[in-house]
Structure 1
Amino acid sequence: MSEQTHMINKEKEMKLDQVENVIERMDAEQKEDILESFDAFKQYLHKRVSLGESLGLNEEQLAKVAQKVADILAAKEEPRNREEKLLQELWNVADPEEKDTLASILVRFVKN
């Protein structure tokens, strides 16, 4: 791997961390607003995907961010509706490769 490629990858990893930190810093009221309805959740994810794209993240990197978000939600948040419950149940039974696929699907889903 060239030095330039290594630097670009390092910079993109830092951008991934920035997106993840947004979720970590969110207060309870903000989380409730996002999770109150599936449409609000989709809008939030769409905004995060758009932010990631503006930071130069590619599809694979966006899926990694989506995976981190899903891991946090599955571990720390109770689903507020049927759609979130289904996503949580799918996430909890998925193996790592399936989680990669689900995260990629979620990214494409909210982009449309």
Structure 2
Amino acid sequence: MSEHNHVVKKDGELDMNKVDNAINKIDQGEKDRILSDFDSFKTYLHKRIKLAESIGLGEEQLAKGAEKIASYLAENEEPRNSEEKLLQELWKVGTQEEQHKLAHLLVKLAQSE
């Protein structure tokens, strides 16, 4: 099954419930590789955003996906570098609106990679 089929609904919208499943399917070694340094994290996000854009997801859907991922990371993963620690702290103190804006900024940052 392609990634498109398991996280995107037939109408082209991102299925937020299935985003959780996709995150949980990433094995620990891969998570460690992705989160080992901030450049690896940005590169991973960049590739995922390019894939999402290629199947038609827009900026708002990308930001909602980024929110889901950021929430998961803040709750389940220990930061492995100072940049991740800063993002985690900002996420935890932010309101839902601020978190959404931060998610938009993370998408922009990864797009510029």
Question: Which interval holds the TM-score relative to the shorter structure?
Answer: 0.7 to 0.9
The match for 1:4 is none
Map 1:88-103 → 2, pairs under 5 A = 88-103=88-103
Rounded to whole Å, the distance in 2 between the matches of 1:11 and 1:32 is 33
The match for 1:38 is 38
In the TM superposition, what is the alpha-carbon distance from 1:81 to its structure 2 partner? 0.2
Query: Identity percentage over the alignment?
Result: 53
SS at match of 1:11: coil
Structure 1 pair 49–68 and aligned structure 2 pair: CA distance change class (3 A): same
**1:87 aligned onto 2:78:** no
Map 1:3-18 → 2, pairs under 5 A = 11-14=11-14
Q: Which amino acid aligns with 2:75?
A: A
Q: Which deviates further from its counterpart, 10-19 or 44-53? A: 10-19
SS at match of 1:13: coil
Higher helix share: 1
User: Which TM-score applies when normalising by structure 1?
Assistant: 0.85
In the TM superposition, what is the alpha-carbon distance from 1:14 to its structure 2 partner? 4.6
The match for 1:5 is none
SS at match of 2:80: coil
Runs of 5+ unmatched residues, structure 1:
1-8
In the TM superposition, what is the alpha-carbon distance from 1:15 to its structure 2 partner? 5.3
SS at match of 2:78: coil
Native 8 Å contact 2:14 2:61 kept in 1: no
Rounded to whole Å, the distance in 1 between the matches of 2:39 and 2:60 is 24
- Highest Rg: 1 or 2? 1
The match for 2:47 is 47
Q: Over residues 58-80 of structure 1, what are the superposed CA-to-partner deviations in whole Å (9 max), with x where a residue is unaligned?
A: 00000000000001000000000
CA RMSD between the two structures: 1.8
Q: Over residues 35-65 of structure 1, what are the superposed CA-to-partner deviations in whole Å (9 max), with x where a residue is unaligned?
A: 0000000001111111111121100000000
Rounded to whole Å, the distance in 2 between the matches of 1:14 and 1:78 is 26
SS at match of 2:52: helix
| Count of residues in Structure 1 that have an aligned counterpart in Structure 2 | 104
Rounded to whole Å, the distance in 2 between the matches of 1:49 and 1:15 is 15
